[in-house]
Structure 1
Amino acid sequence: MSQLIPGKLLTTAMAILPHDHIEEALKLALTLDIPFWPQLPHVGYYEDMYVQAAEHFPGIVLMPEQNSIRFDTPKFYDELPEMLDHWEELAYFDISPTYSVVYHRFLEMDLSSYPAIRGQLEGPVSFGMKILDENDKPLIFNDQVRGMLMDFMARRAQAQLTHLKTRHPGAFMFIDEPGLQFVFSSMSGYTDRMAAEDMDRFFSQIDRPRGIHLCGNPDWQFLLNRDLDILSMDIYTNAEIFRCYGKDIKRFLDRGGVLAWGVVPTGFEAFDQESQDHLIAVLEGVWQTLAEAGISLEQILAQSLLGPATCCLINPDREKTVAKAYSWVKALSRQLREKYALT
């Protein structure tokens, strides 16, 4: 496949921000080369990524007063026919204004001057691991429901991508899958084979460009061999591990894939101890290792984005360190683009 997402060390970020005010969060997101609509759980219950993903899924029980969400199996079978009746109505699966004021505010903006824009949805594996049924069992282990969950979430991702493309032809999607790092734990009964089948089924129903974002440390070979257009990761924490997958990374890039390098920490303590020069050294050290695996620096630069390493909702200074991290991401991009003569 050809490269579908801009590279050349342009900037973007994952979606969750610690802001209490929508306009300030949007303002920050719009400072990046590839902006996104923020998910703001501090603003309200319905701005949470799991709640947003749950809209219209049969069997969901929302409990705003407890800041919780559950799944009820009998309710699922009662509500399933109604959802299936709407299956051909793509707009039905988009995020409604009730479930995100921020998303619709973003869509009202003039975004034409950006090289691309980005949306996101909580992934089906992470959703299935997080949401518990009436027996406190994660939804992902329900064999009667899991397939429908994959198809439903694909429908939701497709609806959002279609809507975003009406605002910008270069729109693409992150599927947030923090739960994928637990698939490979010996404690998980959800195997990598099951995850591969489910993820391939899921992505086969979504137009390009689309890919995965996660901040954890999964089996990188597993992810690099999925049919993705972009993989976004926390390289700040996982540099020493990720650099060991040269052959898989080369295969991913040769297919036209883009890597979003999350290099600037957003946690208060880690950020306070860092320097921009050190973060550049981290990146260039990984790139040097990949060059030794036969990947040219020119290809890496052409197929790379830069971003913060993780989301962060728990800093004592709330959004201040996160905003500083975004400014560093932009500074690193400027410095490296100048150094390597990227235009």
Structure 2
Amino acid sequence: MDWNCASTCIGSLPHTDPKKALDLIMSHLKEVPFWPQLPNLGFGENMYAQFSTKLPGIRIDAEAKKVTVDLNDYDPEAFYIAVVEEDLDHFAYEEENFHGLFELLRRMPSGARAVKGQVTGPISTGLQIFDQNGKSALYDDFYGEIIRRDLNFCARWQEKKLKEMNDNVVIFLDEPSLSLVGTPFAPIPHEKVVLWINEVLDGLSCIKGLHCCGNTDWPMVLSTNIDLLSFDAYSYAFSIALYPKEVSSFLERGGALSWGIVPNMDSRIDKETVHSLVARLEDGIGSLVSKGVDRDLLLERSVLTPQCGLGGLDEERCGRVLELLTGVSEEMRRRHGLGE
């Protein structure tokens, strides 16, 4: 799909009123709206808590802000019956933890080109669910598989709901912890990372994205079955440019890059303008083009977003980020003759 520098967002917004959150989205992101996570409403809207509610034996402690499981005390039978029977409704989301999604479903604009959603990825989720000894559940082979099955069915249920509103659905796997892979904090072989990501993507017919807001092994990520790679271009555009061959191959097979070009840090937001961010983006694009990546193809296959989620900002700063984002998108389309 040609995106032509369309804009959308990564998961979270700071609002506590879902209607106000959607008002902001509809005023700035009508082309590719998304449903927002609203963590300031409570821990139930935390991304790891949201996608853990269907896991067997799971305990979500809102006060401690932790998700845990006793690996010696859980019963997976009902979970696996739902998996074997392909019972997507078993994995249906509850509005009390997904206020932004259900508000979007009620207000989805008819003229949108696509709609974006998200699910946490298997590495980050597995590292953030802790067993009775404080160890990440990712490292338990059996429960790690349960987590991947859960995320896969959660993604498929979400895809089904969003496709009721728009034929072009994008679902990102949010994987901030990919930046830890290969370090002592996540000594996971690359082959397993690729396998586990692909397991979560299996059976999805939508546009499959992956977001990592840190630096990671980009060739590893590009070798997965994703269609859209979302990265922090504000800080790490240079690292993507180290792999022009892999980027070219990804684009040629129909892939696209989602450039997180607008900062989500209070210290940087007021220091940037549309002009400065366009210049920064052009530098990132130019670094790939100078190494042989086709400029026209790259521009056609580019999406623009903030660096990461905006849940840590106040509402005023959040609005400023979206103003910058839409301004950068409009200016890139103007100067390169890109249509919607």
Q: TM-score range by the shorter chain?
A: over 0.9
2:331 matches 1:335: yes
Three-state SS of the structure 2 residue aligned to 1:75 is coil
Q: How far is the alpha carbon of 1:341 from its aligned partner? A: 1.0
2:322 matches 1:321: no
Please point out which of 87, 105, 112 is paired with 1:89.
87
Query: Which stretch of structure 1 is more off in the superposition, 169-178 or 20-29?
Result: 20-29
Please point out which of 58, 62, 65 is paired with 1:64.
62
Aligned counterparts of 1:313 and 1:106: Cα–Cα separation in 2: 17
Letter in 1 for 2:316: K
Q: Is the 8 A contact 2:14 2:311 kept in 1?
A: yes
Please point out which of 195, 198, 214 is paired with 2:196.
198
Aligned counterparts of 2:212 and 2:144: Cα–Cα separation in 1: 21
2:270 matches 1:272: yes
Q: Is the 8 A contact 2:54 2:150 kept in 1?
A: no
Q: What's 1:238 paired with?
A: 236
Q: What's 1:26 paired with?
A: 22
Aligned counterparts of 1:84 and 1:38: Cα–Cα separation in 2: 29
Q: What's 1:209 paired with?
A: 207
2:5 matches 1:9: yes
Q: What's 1:300 paired with?
A: 298
The within-5 A match list for 1:238-257 is 238-257=236-255
Structure 1 unaligned residues grouped into runs of 5+: none
The one-character-per-residue Cα deviations of 1:162-190 (angstroms, maximum 9, x if unpaired) are 11101111111011111111112244232
The within-5 A match list for 1:106-185 is 106-185=104-183
The one-character-per-residue Cα deviations of 1:25-45 (angstroms, maximum 9, x if unpaired) are 112222212111110110122
Q: How far is the alpha carbon of 1:289 from its aligned partner? A: 2.0
Aligned counterparts of 1:340 and 1:178: Cα–Cα separation in 2: 32
Three-state SS of the structure 1 residue aligned to 2:55 is coil
Q: What's 1:53 paired with?
A: 51
Aligned counterparts of 2:191 and 2:10: Cα–Cα separation in 1: 27
Q: How far is the alpha carbon of 1:85 from its aligned partner? A: 2.4
Q: How far is the alpha carbon of 1:250 from its aligned partner? A: 0.5
Q: How far is the alpha carbon of 1:309 from its aligned partner? A: 1.4
Letter in 2 for 1:136: G
The one-character-per-residue Cα deviations of 1:181-226 (angstroms, maximum 9, x if unpaired) are 1112244232222212212222223223111012111111111121
Q: Is the 8 A contact 1:155 1:205 kept in 2?
A: no
Q: Is the 8 A contact 2:248 2:294 kept in 1?
A: no
Aligned counterparts of 1:275 and 1:101: Cα–Cα separation in 2: 32
Three-state SS of the structure 2 residue aligned to 1:66 is coil
Structure 2 unaligned residues grouped into runs of 5+: none
Aligned counterparts of 1:96 and 1:38: Cα–Cα separation in 2: 15
Three-state SS of the structure 2 residue aligned to 1:35 is coil
Q: Is the 8 A contact 2:66 2:129 kept in 1?
A: no
Q: How far is the alpha carbon of 1:50 from its aligned partner? A: 0.9
Q: What's 2:187 paired with?
A: 189
Q: Is the 8 A contact 1:173 1:211 kept in 2?
A: yes
Query: Which stretch of structure 1 is more off in the superposition, 89-98 or 221-230?
Result: 89-98
Aligned counterparts of 1:94 and 1:121: Cα–Cα separation in 2: 13
Q: How large is the Cα RMSD of the aligned pairs?
A: 1.5
Aligned counterparts of 1:178 and 1:151: Cα–Cα separation in 2: 20
Aligned counterparts of 1:332 and 1:188: Cα–Cα separation in 2: 36
In the superposition, the TM-score normalised over structure 2's length comes to 0.94
In the superposition, the TM-score normalised over structure 1's length comes to 0.93
Q: How far is the alpha carbon of 1:52 from its aligned partner? A: 0.8
Letter in 2 for 1:112: S
Letter in 2 for 1:148: I
Aligned counterparts of 1:105 and 1:271: Cα–Cα separation in 2: 28
Please point out which of 266, 283, 286 is paired with 2:284.
286
Three-state SS of the structure 1 residue aligned to 2:159 is helix
